[in-house]
Structure 1
């Protein structure tokens, strides 16, 4: 496993074998795309945003998929590139539309999360058992959400008490590689008050995560042919009170504690992640309402060599936002607001700088012109105490030709400041005398421009969507060989397309995806690293009375610095033995395929998992 806050390019080559069977569509249900308000797309304003490339994954879909992690749930979905370095709990990240993971803004219940030192969010320790839904908006959102949203935004919502009375759910399970899991959740709503409380435990002996080439051989610089286990405990809490005209007060907490084993100069870590948030709204007062949110995300990571302490990286991100919504008519909402982010880093490694602040002012308008045209425009000005000011914005349009067909288009700009690691991390030494420079204090922020055009069609149980996009990046940060020292590439171009479809009836649910990417660094003429030319997913589920059966195919072609493509098949089934009880079974990697998502890091062989579940 690479050091958790230091990235080294892996070596990837092209391969398309097997991807044709994934078809040419994307994970989408009609009610996911064009129905409910997407909170993330509207920056939490009470307004319907125009149709844009987005995916909403509901609690129902999470449970039906029997996915064991967020990366399993997201792999192969439209526009997303998911990386994982060796199975459960290992370093994972998600990028959108060919842009690196540090240009994907990730929020948990509205609180921006992520490692301050690494500059990106690690999703591997967020428990799916305590997630209500996930919203993904693809394309630049810096005009609404600020820096790091050049590729898009992923927002994860924890479970709430959504039904009157008290409701209990949970389960226990076990499977291959000594995997054991248990979780319990209670949610309740009594009048205007609701709460949710959940706990979960997961552990596995794992498998050998990395190729063993010796202490001087990448990617792990270690020779440790052993199983690399993982253990995680988590706690989730939400409580809220609602009052007239949409007003509310809500507090939420998600905490996870994990122990991870891997291969490398350090080979195990202890990780604490905590996200705490408080949100409130006055509700609508005439044509106005006030919304506010405060949050803190803590990511503490201690690293060991054979249980002997090696290093510590503790990061803290505090956020505060204030938004005023003005209801200017039955179909027009104007939002004016300000926010502030304070990042702090405490580490046994010395950094030249270990704190910075960003303040932003933003404006957004959602409106409907006539009977057919929906418009969203957003403008933002950021004041970064390290890199000065930046102006960003976006314009999104959706024109309904008729009840079935809608044309969509958009353009947006974004910026992304270099992380503390990219700027100041000292030379990383594998062993004394074998050190690599991994930082460049002269880096400038990245700036991107993205345009898109698309069409959607919905009728009955069907929904189909096609989107083409193009991004141009200035001062893109890359770490080219042989030195791997980060530098600003003069310019890079990303072109791509998605084709999406879903079909849902009372008995059947089918969703498929295919994403095409063409990336190029203008300085070298080479593709950008770790971005596959093709990726896709096919999911089919069938309800047969008390039984349900399902399968998922997911795969991708090879990419620059990646030496293989792959297609993996999973099977799942469940049987409802009583109204509130069901038995679930899942077989992952049915054909026991040997494959790697990141070069040099193995993925799990075939495995079986069985569980007993109670409640919803």
Structure 2
């Protein structure tokens, strides 16, 4: 891919948060388990976890507070079915593979509204500071019938900080190796019919030299980052039936990478050019919720976002400007959802419209796209079984109309054992880069159409929880991200096993993923996806102390090395940490990542950070 377009660079070691999953992740450091949490993303309606068929994980605020100076993608790497990739230093661009599907095949929602880049078809998870996030829900599995195009691998939904009853204040400060620094503060409260939340954070690091000697485009410098973020939320209870709210999120950053400009008027290369990316994420959401009757609720949501990607270049020798590139997406979305409760069942009807507009230094043949969708779902809840039926019709201004559907069901085989399964279809149109980027795009590409199936068992008895999920997703006309070649088919299949056990103050969690996504008819592996990943986390609480250890073992993966492929070796990473509660509202935390200083790579030509330490002080009132 060319230089200007969101280079996957990035960032941080993977701090694996202590937890376990059975459709929901457990809080780190042996926090108390919420026995019956609710989930929104799986059905677009607030639903108790015990009534869900879908495979969902929840990352709550307690887990996010344990993460230190990490990005959201670092935290996601701890979840079953999720693999990530980095090509750079701290907090630069990255990618996520959900059940073998790439970032462009998994959609990102913030407060219910989709964000991302229309040029790459992806999004900037690294631009989302953890201090500004209240909760994350990850839906694994095809979800196009519920959320529209591109939800091939699943959905990641982020909820920013929310108003709280009374008055809540918090602040944090931290520092670590490689020049890591962090500072954040937030204020949340409720007064009468008004609720409010306000927060800000600043993060930075000097970074590391992330490219391996001899790699293409090598520059022996440290690529650092700096991010400043702000979020604000206000809601007003008009009366017993009507609630209005507004939310704002802003993240503004910069990070260094190795590269040269294109066009290249000063004839620079990666060793003679200073290259800096300036990502920026803006989002505003307005929402009106109305309870028209005891059974009928409607929500009208308007969202506006800007995904900004600007790269600038200078000659190292004298600081002369050498050019810049710009790839910005402005997205507006209107969603009208109506939910009607029929006894224990719920009928939902959803109408939405989204418009994407591209502003770029690259001349795209088409620079805007409008999508309109209409969906209906029916959630059934019996005594021992439940299910969800969904049908959707979408119209794409470039590719016309298409339909998707999904069926899912769950049945209690016994009080502790549940059988779940689903089947459905997906649709994904090519991104603007895939169609029109100079020297890379192919305007003859056609949409990718898929059929997905999964079958699972879930067990819960006392403090023991376990699950097993088999999945298979066949995508016709799969577009290989690195080459932009349309294969006949890709088969994304695998199995995920999880086990979570606690003994009083001690908690153990183990998960294993076998993923084997393949291109047909060549049978080549999908790049950057390991076939085997084993995660083990153990934590213990003793008085004011909490301690934990996290181990991740991964098999090899393949990556592009033009004109062929290269195998990246497997690896094992061990992280340890501890927290001490100095006072009821004051805690000090220490994380030591990559304890054995393991050298490993998740992308060809790049290395990951070695042993690094981060210490933070956190205050909550």
With structure 2 as the length reference, what TM-score do the two structures score?
A: 0.89
Match of 1:299 among 307, 312, 316: 307
Counterpart in the other structure of 1:190: 191
SS at 1:513's partner residue?
Answer: strand
1:346 matches 2:359: yes
1:438-497 residue CA offsets vs partner (Å, 9 max, x unmatched): 1111111111111011110112222111100111110100157xxx3x122111212200
User: Over aligned residues, Cα RMSD in angstroms?
Assistant: 2.4
User: Does the Cα contact within 8 Å between 2:23 and 2:57 map onto a contact in 1?
Assistant: no
Distance 1:67 1:567, change over 3 A: farther
Distance 1:34 1:391, change over 3 A: farther
Match of 2:76 among 61, 74, 77: 74
User: Does the Cα contact within 8 Å between 2:190 and 2:196 map onto a contact in 1?
Assistant: yes
User: Does the Cα contact within 8 Å between 2:305 and 2:332 map onto a contact in 1?
Assistant: yes
**Distance (whole Å) between structure 2 residues aligned to residue 406 and residue 29 of structure 1:** 19
Distance 1:286 1:614, change over 3 A: closer
Counterpart in the other structure of 1:3: 3
Counterpart in the other structure of 1:174: 175
Counterpart in the other structure of 1:531: 529
Distance 1:579 1:28, change over 3 A: closer
Match of 2:331 among 317, 320, 329: 317
Counterpart in the other structure of 1:435: none
Distance 1:24 1:159, change over 3 A: closer
Distance 1:337 1:25, change over 3 A: closer
**Distance (whole Å) between structure 2 residues aligned to residue 446 and residue 178 of structure 1:** 44
1:582 matches 2:587: yes
How many aligned residue pairs are there?
581
SS at 2:149's partner residue?
Answer: coil
User: Does the Cα contact within 8 Å between 1:238 and 1:251 map onto a contact in 2?
Assistant: yes
Structure 1 residue 41 displacement after superposition:
0.5
Structure possessing the higher relative contact order (Cα contacts under 8 Å, 6 or more residues apart): 1
Distance 1:24 1:224, change over 3 A: same
**Distance (whole Å) between structure 2 residues aligned to residue 7 and residue 132 of structure 1:** 28
Structure 1 residue 536 displacement after superposition:
3.1
Counterpart in the other structure of 2:269: none
Counterpart in the other structure of 1:113: 115
Distance 1:33 1:135, change over 3 A: farther
Moved more, 93-102 or 552-561: 552-561
**Distance (whole Å) between structure 1 residues aligned to residue 199 and residue 507 of structure 2:** 29
**Distance (whole Å) between structure 1 residues aligned to residue 33 and residue 426 of structure 2:** 26
User: Does the Cα contact within 8 Å between 1:199 and 1:233 map onto a contact in 2?
Assistant: yes
**Distance (whole Å) between structure 1 residues aligned to residue 84 and residue 522 of structure 2:** 25
SS at 2:91's partner residue?
Answer: coil
**Distance (whole Å) between structure 2 residues aligned to residue 23 and residue 235 of structure 1:** 31
**Distance (whole Å) between structure 2 residues aligned to residue 568 and residue 283 of structure 1:** 50
- After TM superposition, list the pairs within 5 Å mapping 1:545-584 onto structure 2: 545-561=543-559, 562-584=567-589
1:579-614 residue CA offsets vs partner (Å, 9 max, x unmatched): 211111111111111111112111111111112111
Counterpart in the other structure of 2:348: 335
Counterpart in the other structure of 1:596: 601
**Distance (whole Å) between structure 1 residues aligned to residue 588 and residue 481 of structure 2:** 48
Moved more, 517-526 or 603-612: 517-526
User: Does the Cα contact within 8 Å between 1:332 and 1:367 map onto a contact in 2?
Assistant: yes
User: Does the Cα contact within 8 Å between 1:25 and 1:499 map onto a contact in 2?
Assistant: no
User: Does the Cα contact within 8 Å between 1:26 and 1:499 map onto a contact in 2?
Assistant: no
User: Does the Cα contact within 8 Å between 1:113 and 1:121 map onto a contact in 2?
Assistant: yes
Structure 1 residue 303 displacement after superposition:
0.8
1:45-65 residue CA offsets vs partner (Å, 9 max, x unmatched): 568752321101111122234
Structure 1 residue 76 displacement after superposition:
4.2
Distance 1:411 1:525, change over 3 A: same
**Distance (whole Å) between structure 2 residues aligned to residue 64 and residue 259 of structure 1:** 25
Structure 1 residue 501 displacement after superposition:
2.0
Distance 1:293 1:520, change over 3 A: same
Structure 1 residue 179 displacement after superposition:
1.1
Structure 1 residue 99 displacement after superposition:
1.3
User: Does the Cα contact within 8 Å between 1:97 and 1:496 map onto a contact in 2?
Assistant: yes
1:158 matches 2:177: no
1:236 matches 2:231: yes
Structure 1 residue 88 displacement after superposition:
1.6
Structure 1 residue 578 displacement after superposition:
1.4
User: Does the Cα contact within 8 Å between 1:76 and 1:536 map onto a contact in 2?
Assistant: no
**Distance (whole Å) between structure 1 residues aligned to residue 24 and residue 45 of structure 2:** 24
Structure 1 residue 190 displacement after superposition:
2.1
1:455 matches 2:450: no
Distance 1:323 1:570, change over 3 A: same
Counterpart in the other structure of 1:509: 507
Structure 1 residue 32 displacement after superposition:
7.6
Q: Which blocks of at least 5 consecutive residues in structure 1 are unaligned?
A: 10-21, 428-437
